[in-house]
Amino acid sequence: MDKILVLDFGSQTTQLIGRRIRELGVFSEIVPGESELAPKLSADVKGIILSGSPESVYEKDAPKPDHALYTLELPLLGICYGSQRMMHDQGGRVTPHSKKEYGRARVFVTERSELLQNIPDGFISWMSHGDTIEKLAPDFKVVAQTENGIPAVVKHNSKQVYGLQFHPEVTHCEYGMDVLKNFALTICGAKKEWNVDAYLRAGMEEIKTHVGNQKVLLLISGGVDSSVAAGLLLKALPPDQVHLMYIDTGLMRKHESQEVEANLGSLGAVHIHHINAAADFLKALAGVTDPEKKRRIIGDMFIDVQEREVKKLGIKNAYLSQGTLYTDMIESGKGVGKKAHVIKSHHNVRSPLVEAKRRQGLVVEPLAMLYKDEVRSLGKKLGLSPGIIGRHPFPGPGLAVRILGEITDEKLAVLKQADYIYIDELKQRGLYDKIWQAFCVLLPLRSVGVSGDMRRYGYVLTLRAVVSHDGMTADVFSFPTTDLLEISAKITNSIKEIGRVVYDVSSKPPATIEWE
């Protein structure tokens, strides 16, 4: 399949670049910006994009691409830092600029080029830079500039090598998709071969070849990702080879375990192992308040329980499968540049058992190249029920990261009940499917309230509802006020321990979706 390689230098929008290329129907792969290029340059790579970066090219430790990049005949597109990098590395000069440009800036075309084909002069671009190209590298020219006279698009005189100062991947950039389309389809000539059917075919083939006639163990959480991974494994392999294990941590939502079991049955699985390990998890978490520590404890306990149960099953040397997504890999700092930020440790990516299995070549992650919405499309193709596919994402550590501070049985019971009411109300009011992720968070504080003539000192519960494309960024859901007020009243009327309900109005960034 034709593909565009994206060299990641640590920009927050690298994943968006990859996504946008896929939206054009072309496969994209993000690799660390400093990767040695030769092993990555298979015949199907049709062009390379260099991402932005929080660094400046003139800093000593700023990430550099393999110098071989500049001797390739492939089309190149540098975005922001990527463009400055190309200038700096080939004899140009990049300096801090007194006129910093953040946000909207008009771009005026000074010379027509294939990259800006069919794009009107004076279009509004999206900028985010403090440095600028002061001197072009030899053989480059400016083909568009901003109203401040800053080079907005530079081009090599004879090669298909372009540099952009603006960010075409950001939705606020007018004609951004057209710029990427001109690059990927016209300049690189990449064929539109990327779609879910193609992924399904390739994914099944890969699973068959990788696993052969060995057994595979997939940990099921009940969420969309692991259900789709299960569906894919069951389609690629005889059901007898596929073992699905559901570890009930006690940190699942109300009725979730029962629903999971029913759903798994409908996927045609013949080996479903339901493990009730709530007591182990809650004991290990007693008194723990630090969020990353909670994640680590839960991750480790997963491994312990899994190892113990796998031993009982007698399938110790089985392949281990996970529903890890592309974004999980990226947010955990894997699969991208050395300097990528670790935002939260996703236990399913970094666990020692998984790493050990990975070293032995015994890990199967059939969704690791997919974004969330692509996973949903794949689930639909696999015939999963809309109830599973439309389910909001749920974090691996479960309700543990939604009870801020110490987890107690009482808090867990309160949160489960509140969350159940909230989600049920959203479904009944036709709001659930309009929201990307909704949940409750129990805060580690109480506030004074009054009911009847009595003062009460109850917990504060936060309602969260966000809209998002892939969880990398998120906006607050504009909740209809009446619904919000009625849901709040229903929660405080039904759960005496909750005295106050608040709605979280923070987007991501700067907040994250979860509170811990």
Residues with catalytic annotation?
Answer: 80, 167, 169
Nearer to ligand XMP, 186 or 327 (CB): 327
333's CB contacts (< 8 A; 6+ apart) are 340, 341, 342
At how many degrees (to 10) do helices 224-236 and 372-381 cross? 40
**Residue given tokens 């375990």 in the structure block:** 257
Of residues 395-454, those binding ligand XMP (CB under 6 A): 395-397, 437
# residues near ligand XMP by CB under 6 A: 16
365's CB contacts (< 8 A; 6+ apart) are 321, 322, 323, 324
Contact yes or no for 223/393 (Cβ under 8 A): yes
Contact yes or no for 396/306 (Cβ under 8 A): no
Q: Which stretch binds ligand XMP (CB under 6 A): 79-87, 237-245, 390-398, 483-491?
A: 390-398
Among 141, 210, 381, 508, the residue binding ligand XMP under the rule CB under 6 A is 508
Q: Does 231 bind ligand XMP (CB under 6 A)?
A: no
| 124 phi/psi in degrees, rounded to 5 | -95, 120
Nearer to ligand XMP, 150 or 325 (CB): 325
**Residue given tokens 């550099």 in the structure block:** 64
Q: Does 291 bind ligand XMP (CB under 6 A)?
A: no
Residues 377, 356: Cα–Cα separation, whole Å:
32
Contact yes or no for 88/51 (Cβ under 8 A): no
Residues 43, 1: Cα–Cα separation, whole Å:
9
Q: Which stretch binds ligand XMP (CB under 6 A): 178-186, 188-196, 334-342, 389-397?
A: 389-397
Q: Does 334 bind ligand XMP (CB under 6 A)?
A: no
Q: Which stretch binds ligand XMP (CB under 6 A): 210-218, 262-270, 343-351, 485-493?
A: 343-351
**Residue given tokens 């509802």 in the structure block:** 465
Nearer to ligand XMP, 6 or 330 (CB): 330
Least CB distance from residue 172 to ligand XMP, whole Å?
21
Of residues 102-161, those binding ligand XMP (CB under 6 A): none
Among 253, 346, 402, 500, the residue binding ligand XMP under the rule CB under 6 A is 346
Of residues 14-33, those binding ligand XMP (CB under 6 A): none
Q: Does 262 bind ligand XMP (CB under 6 A)?
A: no
Nearer to ligand XMP, 373 or 514 (CB): 514
Least CB distance from residue 180 to ligand XMP, whole Å?
25
Residue window 456-495: x/- pattern of binding to ligand XMP, with contact defined by CB under 6 A: ---------------x------------------------
Q: Which stretch binds ligand XMP (CB under 6 A): 251-259, 338-346, 355-363, 450-458?
A: 338-346
Among 198, 343, 356, 445, the residue binding ligand XMP under the rule CB under 6 A is 343
Least CB distance from residue 464 to ligand XMP, whole Å?
10
Sort strands 363-364 and 3-8 into parallel, antiparallel or unpaired: unpaired
Nearer to ligand XMP, 153 or 349 (CB): 349
Least CB distance from residue 225 to ligand XMP, whole Å?
8
Q: How would you write 171-217 as a 3-class SS string?
A: CCCCCHHHHHHHHHHHHCCCCCCCCHHHHHHHHHHHHHHHHCCCCEE
Q: Tell me the CB-side half-sphere exposure of residue 100, using CA atoms within 13 A.
A: 6
Least CB distance from residue 48 to ligand XMP, whole Å?
28
Nearer to ligand XMP, 344 or 358 (CB): 344
Q: Which stretch binds ligand XMP (CB under 6 A): 228-236, 285-293, 450-458, 506-514?
A: 506-514
Residues 480, 483: Cα–Cα separation, whole Å:
6
CA distances, 257 to each of 217, 248, 273, 356 (Å) = 19, 7, 12, 29
Q: How would you write 390-444 as a 3-class SS string?
A: CCCCCCCCHHHHHECCCCCHHHHHHHHHHHHHHHHHHHHCCCHHHCCEEEEEEEE
Q: Does 512 bind ligand XMP (CB under 6 A)?
A: yes
Element (H, E) at 340: none
Cα three-residue angle 510-514-516, rounded to 5 degrees? 95
Residues 39, 408: Cα–Cα separation, whole Å:
51
Nearer to ligand XMP, 198 or 343 (CB): 343
Residues 150, 121: Cα–Cα separation, whole Å:
15
Nearer to ligand XMP, 93 or 344 (CB): 344
Q: Which stretch binds ligand XMP (CB under 6 A): 63-71, 309-317, 392-400, 423-431?
A: 392-400
Of residues 292-321, those binding ligand XMP (CB under 6 A): 295
Q: Which stretch binds ligand XMP (CB under 6 A): 96-104, 196-204, 304-312, 507-515?
A: 507-515
Among 106, 296, 344, 380, the residue binding ligand XMP under the rule CB under 6 A is 344
Nearer to ligand XMP, 123 or 394 (CB): 394
Contact yes or no for 117/153 (Cβ under 8 A): no
Among 25, 239, 390, 393, the residue binding ligand XMP under the rule CB under 6 A is 393
| 410-417: long-range contacts, CB 8 A cutoff, minimum separation 24 | 410/497, 411/442, 411/459, 412/250, 412/251, 412/282, 414/442, 414/459, 414/495, 414/497, 414/498, 415/440, 415/442, 415/461, 416/253, 416/254, 417/254, 417/494, 417/495
Least CB distance from residue 299 to ligand XMP, whole Å?
8
Q: Does 356 bind ligand XMP (CB under 6 A)?
A: no
Judged by the rule CB under 6 A, the positions of this chain that interact with ligand XMP are 295, 343-344, 346-348, 393, 395-397, 437, 471, 508, 512-514
